Amino acid sequence: MISFPDIQSEVQFLFELTEIKVSVLREDLIHPLISGNKFRKLKYNLKAFEEGNFDALLTFGGAYSNHIFATAAAGKEFGFKTIGVIRGEEIQYKIDENPTLKFAKECGMAFKFVSRENYRQKTNPEFLEELKKEFGQIYILQEGGTNSLAIKGCEEILGNHTKEFDCICCAVGTGGTISGIINSSEDHQKVLGFPALKDSEFLKDEIKKYSRRSNFELIDEFHFGGFAKTNDELIDFINSFKRNFGLTLDPIYTAKMMYGIIELIKRGNFENESSILVIHTGGLQGIDAMNQRLKRKNKTEIE
């Protein structure tokens, strides 16, 4: 029986800067392995998976994907079969060097490695039919786990304990998590999304698919060059943030968001005496892989 408990994450005060109060919602602590927003996104999908007559759950992701990691962990915990369609054929020879895939493999996830070109077919019905022929009765969950059931789960991130805040901030990848947050936000609240990728124009339309509200804005200047790109400044920021506040940020999503929030506060973009709630969506499993890459380049690593 797959069951995810109803959880309200803890709100923690972090700091005050120019009379703006910043707190964090600790979604990163929701589960030791199925962390943050991936727990929320899987919750109702796994219910649907269990209610259907499926042999396995198949999903898509890059080699360091938090979603692949979380899905594999859920498969192990609840005893169902998982298949990961992974971007990049060359990765198949490097599974044991890759902390994310090594973990997923140990959880029992089976992989299908596809070229970048084929990976782009991931929503193409013919490609999905071929996958069904290959793997049988599969529940297909798209990249990042985003669909309407995922949004339903993400609507449970906010609750009675978060109604007082003026502004809610969230890192954005596919736009699923922020859509759920927008749906359950209060009318007086503004939701700010920080895309972790370049060329994030498509996100507005993605969010419109799942939400009719318009109390949100996307801040697209803090992607640090693109998805999973970092620089010394960002890594230094992560390390000093941890020293100052005891909170670890992940380099792909939450660090870029937090950097952006502090920058906007310094610029005076928030109303005087307003309160901000930052969603810590997790993603800390990605730090080992990032440190491997930083080490290879002789750069400072994340502490």
Ligand X SMILES: *Cc1c(COP(=O)(O)O)cnc(C)c1O
Phi-psi region of 199 (alpha: psi -120 to 50; beta: other; left: phi over 0): left
- Nearest Cα neighbor of 134 from 58, 72, 75, 71 is 58
In the complex, what is the shortest distance from the CB of residue 298 to ligand X, in angstroms, rounded to a whole number? Answer: 27
Considering the complex, state which of residue 19 and residue 202 has its C-beta at the smaller distance from ligand X.
Answer: 202
Considering the complex, state which of residue 134 and residue 253 has its C-beta at the smaller distance from ligand X.
Answer: 253
- CA dihedral angle for residue 264, residue 268, residue 272, residue 276, rounded to 10 degrees: 0
Q: How far is CA 123 from CA 131, 142, 197, in A?
A: 11, 8, 20
Question: Would you say 17 and 262 are in contact if contact means Cβ atoms under 8 Å apart?
Answer: yes
User: What is residue 213's DSSP assignment?
Assistant: -
Question: Would you say 220 and 189 are in contact if contact means Cβ atoms under 8 Å apart?
Answer: no
Considering the complex, state which of residue 147 and residue 298 has its C-beta at the smaller distance from ligand X.
Answer: 147
Considering the complex, state which of residue 64 and residue 113 has its C-beta at the smaller distance from ligand X.
Answer: 64
Considering the complex, state which of residue 90 and residue 201 has its C-beta at the smaller distance from ligand X.
Answer: 201
In the complex, what is the shortest distance from the CB of residue 286 to ligand X, in angstroms, rounded to a whole number? Answer: 8
In the complex, what is the shortest distance from the CB of residue 51 to ligand X, in angstroms, rounded to a whole number? Answer: 23
Distance of CA 61 to the CA centre of its chain: 12
Interface positions with ligand X (CB under 6 A): 36-38, 66-67, 144, 146, 171-178, 250, 253-254, 281-283
Considering the complex, state which of residue 84 and residue 144 has its C-beta at the smaller distance from ligand X.
Answer: 144
Q: How far is CA 240 from CA 52, 237, 247, in A?
A: 47, 5, 10
In the complex, what is the shortest distance from the CB of residue 24 to ligand X, in angstroms, rounded to a whole number? Answer: 13
Q: In angstroms, rounded to a whole number, what is the distance separating the alpha carbons of residues 263 and 224?
A: 13
In the complex, what is the shortest distance from the CB of residue 106 to ligand X, in angstroms, rounded to a whole number? Answer: 20
Find the residue with minimal CB distance to ligand X: 283
In the complex, what is the shortest distance from the CB of residue 204 to ligand X, in angstroms, rounded to a whole number? Answer: 13
